[in-house]
Amino acid sequence: MAQTYIRSSSLKPGIVTSLVFATLAFGISTVAAQEFQTEQEDTEVVLAPDAFSPYAGRNFPTRPLWGDSHLHTEVSVDAGTMNRLSQADAFRFARGEEVTTTHGLRAKLSRPLDWLVVSDHAEMYGLMPQLLAGDAQVLANEQGRIWYKALTAGDPQLAFNTAMEIVASLSGDEPPIDNPKAIKHAWENYLKTAEQFNEPGVFTSIIGYEYTTEGANNLHRNVLFRDGPLRASQTRPFSQYDSKNPEDLWEFLAEYEERTGGEVLAIAHNGNLSNGRMFSMNAYDGSALTEEIASMRARFEPLYEATQIKGDGEAHPFLSPDDAFADHDTWDAANLNGTEIKTPDMLAGEYAREALKRGMQIEADLGINPFKFGMVGATDSHTAMATAQEDNFFGKHSGVEPEPNRWEHLVIEAPDPELSIFGWKQAAGGLGAVWATENTREAIFDAMMRKETYATTGSRIGVRFFGGYDFTEEDALSRLPADAGYRKGVPMGGNLGATSDAQSPTFLVAALKDPISGNLDRIQIVKGWLDPETGETREKVFDVVWSGDREPDANGILPDVGNTVDVANATWTNTIGAPELVAVWEDPDFDPSIPAFYYARVIEIPTPRWTAYEANRFGVEMPDYVPMVTTERAYTSPIWYTPG
């Protein structure tokens, strides 16, 4: 039985409640709850005749649906140079089936996913399977013949070099091989495959693709459809050869919706390698941001991919020096291919927390917040396998599948070897959790649009986060926090307005450990706000509830939870931490006149990193600079407060 602290400005620190992991429930029916009438004096409970089961009639999401919104197969030009797994293989693997990897390894997930987006690159969509098959139309092109010969020569190094050349070609103004008929055919085949694996209520295949603009500076977006093949077949993937300007992508998506009656969204990703461009305060061409452009981004980009294989994008220690957990799987040396060194002034345009703060500044000027996004995680795996778990990590692409020395293999080559990315730098992440009412395309898309989502670095932590004005200690003590959450407030991704009496908002947050991962260290709430006097933004990280009997020191700093990781044997003990944490918290510094956002961050105890599992399995030694321990975490979508 674990003990946790429940702290708020109305509760004394140190109030302890015992919470049993096996029985934490994340929701009951608001309808049923309204039928309970409690007489306080004699505690008599009167039930409506048909209201015995607390789970009957539930009208809100009751469990997170786990998925990956960013996965590539052999159909992507870059992945297809080395990967031989198909889109059908990707769906089978995500549904829990065993597949054989490109290099002959058997692979399977510990638990199936609930949904998947196969988001192959729009650029020359479907080229690689045709190229490798020696398609006559492709080989009629000189560049096609050169690539075909290099990729089929049986030389792994030549194949890798060719792959890098093909990736580099995606930054050009014209496609090296232009074949609209082949793209149309490949898109139609994908739609058929996605429909084949879509099973409402069981597994959802969400139709999508990746728009890969400014490849080196990583302004990429994943486009997701609410619709099935009937509408999605009336368009085709919009690529950087159509336009490198993401604003033109939004116009293209708006035209699709108007013409077909369908719905679509885009997820910006991997801003940590954009060298400051992902969350620029200006328009794409460098001119002043307009209300129209800000509105288009707010409309079509409700979510941001905050973590993935190419590093974590929630926060950076340079931007958040007082945040002890800001430096997690940080990639900050250069842009994606190492052609432009990163400077400190670029960082503010790359990380989720700083973008949320910038959004408030823009809103103060334009009346529109273009960066009012929720959080998701994804893999960006190019192996066709969504493997985000540390002990089951198959790497960024098929050239770095598990083998004794992949930790030192080249993953991304840069002109300056000091800027190249090697295997050990890869992060085994992440996953997206969606609080949808049912496992269907429509329900998942709708949850994404209302931002009722959160990101994890690969662990399947259960997280609830609500904001309101009436949460009390009793709500945190309840075994049904979601009942109070939906009845008395708004969930993650929601908005809070001011009350007539300038009341301070309260937040209800609950987390449940992944059954096969580490216990929980703490839950934090991250606050960002706009200083009305200077127009500058501020932030603060609050430790809200934690495991064990630790107490903050005189400076308010909570001691570390400890570390039980046995690196040599790639294991740990859950003798520290808590299986669940729940609390009600009130902002002690609240000012009703100042706009703010709040999101929850849940931290696990230390556990072995994928490199530790690899060293143990293959009996290899890695240098001291290779990290062997990680702290998995979750980031919820924010809740925004707007003054009246």
Rounded to an integer, the average pLDDT of 342-366 is 98
Which H or E run contains 290?
none
When pLDDT is cut at 50, 70 and 90, the band that residue 156 belongs to is: confident
Kindly state whether residue 156 falls inside one of the protein's structural domains.
no
Residue 37: pLDDT above 60? no
Q: Are residues 426 and 348 in the same domain?
A: yes
Neighbours of 296 (CB within 10 A): 20
Q: Are residues 416 and 288 in the same domain?
A: yes
Kindly state whether residue 220 falls inside one of the protein's structural domains.
yes
Q: Which residues contact 149 (CB under 8 A, 6 or more apart)?
A: none
Q: Are residues 241 and 123 in the same domain?
A: yes
Tell me the pairing of strands 374-377 and 303-308. Answer: parallel
pLDDT, position 23: 37
pLDDT, position 165: 85
pLDDT, position 162: 86
pLDDT, position 21: 33
pLDDT, position 35: 29
Kindly state whether residue 30 falls inside one of the protein's structural domains.
no
pLDDT, position 47: 66
When pLDDT is cut at 50, 70 and 90, the band that residue 181 belongs to is: confident
When pLDDT is cut at 50, 70 and 90, the band that residue 34 belongs to is: very low
What is the average pLDDT value for the chain, to the nearest integer? Answer: 91
Q: How many domains does the chain have?
A: 2
Q: Are residues 97 and 124 in the same domain?
A: yes
pLDDT, position 231: 98
Rounded to an integer, the average pLDDT of 267-271 is 94
Q: Are residues 491 and 382 in the same domain?
A: no
pLDDT, position 182: 87
Kindly state whether residue 514 falls inside one of the protein's structural domains.
yes
484-516 pLDDT, tens per residue?
Answer: 999 999 999 999 999 999 999 999 999 999 999
pLDDT, position 518: 98
Q: Are residues 421 and 474 in the same domain?
A: no
Q: Are residues 467 and 423 in the same domain?
A: no
pLDDT, position 159: 81
Q: Are residues 509 and 600 in the same domain?
A: yes
Report the C-alpha gap between 630 and 612 in whole angstroms.
Answer: 10
Q: Are residues 489 and 429 in the same domain?
A: no
Which H or E run contains 149?
helix 142-151
pLDDT, position 46: 65
DSSP letter string over 422-479?
Answer: EGGG-----EEEE--SSSSHHHHHHHHHTT-EEEESS---EEEEEEES---HHHHHSS
Place of tokens 């707007």: 642
Last residue within a domain, chosen from 393, 423, 450: 450
Kindly state whether residue 295 falls inside one of the protein's structural domains.
yes
Q: Are residues 528 and 623 in the same domain?
A: yes
Last residue within a domain, chosen from 401, 418, 450: 450
Kindly state whether residue 249 falls inside one of the protein's structural domains.
yes
pLDDT, position 44: 56
Report the C-alpha gap between 254 and 293 in whole angstroms.
Answer: 13
Q: Which residues contact 197 (CB under 8 A, 6 or more apart)?
A: 88, 91, 92, 95, 203, 205
Report helix, strand or coil for 540.
Answer: strand
Residue 254: pLDDT above 90? yes
364-374 pLDDT, tens per residue?
Answer: 999 999 999 99
Q: Are residues 502 and 439 in the same domain?
A: no
Q: Cα torsion for 484, 487, 489, 490, to the nearest 10°?
A: 110
Kindly state whether residue 415 falls inside one of the protein's structural domains.
yes
Rounded to an integer, the average pLDDT of 102-120 is 98
Residue type, 351: Y
Higher pLDDT, 352 or 151: 352
Share of the chain above pLDDT 90, in %: 81
User: Containing domain of residue 600, as a range?
Assistant: 463-642
Kindly state whether residue 45 falls inside one of the protein's structural domains.
no
The token pair that represents 250 in the structure block = 């939004």
Q: Are residues 212 and 359 in the same domain?
A: yes
When pLDDT is cut at 50, 70 and 90, the band that residue 36 belongs to is: very low
Last residue within a domain, chosen from 450, 477, 512: 450
Looking at the DSSP bridge assignments, the partners of residue 519 are none
55-101 pLDDT, tens per residue?
Answer: 888 889 999 999 999 999 999 998 998 899 999 999 999 999 999 99
CA atoms within 13 A on the CB side of 346: 18
Residue 328: pLDDT above 50? yes
pLDDT, position 13: 32
Q: Give me the phi and psi of 271, to 5 degrees please.
A: -65, -15
Higher pLDDT, 532 or 462: 462
4-31 pLDDT, tens per residue?
Answer: 334 333 332 333 333 333 334 454 333 3
Looking at the DSSP bridge assignments, the partners of residue 17 are 4
Rounded to an integer, the average pLDDT of 404-427 is 94
